[in-house]
Amino acid sequence: MKGIFSALIVPFDESGNIIEGSLRKIVRHNIDVCEVDGLYVNGSSGENFLLSTDKKKKIFEIVKDEAKDDIQLIAQVGSLNLDEAIELGKYATELKYDCLSAVTPFYYKFDFEEIKDYYFSIIRETKNKMLIYSIPFLTGVNMSLDQFEELFVNEDIIGVKFTAADFFLLERMRKRFPEKLIFSGFDEMLLPAAIYEIDGAIGSTFNVNGKRAKEIFQLAQDGKIIEAKEIQHTTNDLIEKILELGLYQTIKEIFHVKGIDAGQCQKPMKNFNPEKRTDVEALVKHFNL
């Protein structure tokens, strides 16, 4: 399980319901146009933490039915409610997702033993592989190298989605755990992460910019850093504009411009500003999305 994975964007209508036909089109766009290696389903980019359990299950079901076995699928099942995480994990496992992932439990100041028990419980109950989702700037959970080692003792924990700018920890992790999978989680930092021999990357902008991400990753693996740097520059120009306009809203608007009704975001996220539509049209044209 390696390569470039899109953190899948999910379209919702004005009532917050999943637009199934559009979700299928977004999945196909990722596979057929962006040519990503896999999809990371029900992560932050899918607005997972704003959804009911039933909606999360429906997304898992639609994505698997559309993608089938064309690409690798990772099911993010993490939740503050451990029972829900286990329920979602069992459901995704029944659907034959390639592995599970779970964000570190957040909001409450869980100690490491509680975090470890959370992961081990999900694994024990689902009997599936686990990719830890470490995103400290949102969860407030910073784990040390030794704590990662305590988790990695469990052979069913196959690696980590590492969404942090701590490249010292990333380098130390790669050296100490050569057999574990490490996926970079910051799209704008793909190249520097790739230099440390990560196994792949998982990102929201890959939904529309997956081909460039694959080029960066492959060039870095081939030692062609100067060429990779130029593509990362272009990618970061795009990311900078997307962030200025609103991350998830703008990616959805890019799909709108490309003829796919990507709906809107779950409340309390705001809608895309229609006055900025021409800016997105210019992005699509300038970056050949």
161 catalytic? Reply is: yes
DSSP bridge pairs for 157: 130
**165-236-177 Cα angle (round to 5):** 35
| Cα distance between residue 205 and residue 129, in whole Å | 26
| Cα distance between residue 12 and residue 272, in whole Å | 13
Taking Cα atoms as reference points, which of 80, 100, 82 lies closest to residue 91?
100
**Residues contacting 160, CB < 8 A, separation 6+:** 131, 132, 133, 134, 148, 173, 180, 181, 182, 183
270 catalytic? Reply is: no
Single-letter residue type at 146: D
Structure tokens at 202: 């998982």
Q: Which helix (H) or strand (E) holds 160?
A: strand 157-162
User: Catalytic: which of 129, 161, 180, 252?
Assistant: 161
User: Catalytic: which of 40, 91, 133, 248?
Assistant: 133
DSSP helix/strand/coil, 3: strand
Q: What's the chain's Rg over C-alpha atoms?
A: 18
Q: In 135-269, where does DSSP find H-type helix?
A: 136-139, 145-152, 167-176, 190-195, 206-221, 225-245, 247-257
Q: Which helix (H) or strand (E) holds 6?
A: strand 3-7
> What does DSSP say about strands 99-103 and 72-76: parallel, antiparallel, or unpaired?
parallel
**Residue positions annotated with a catalytic role:** 133, 161
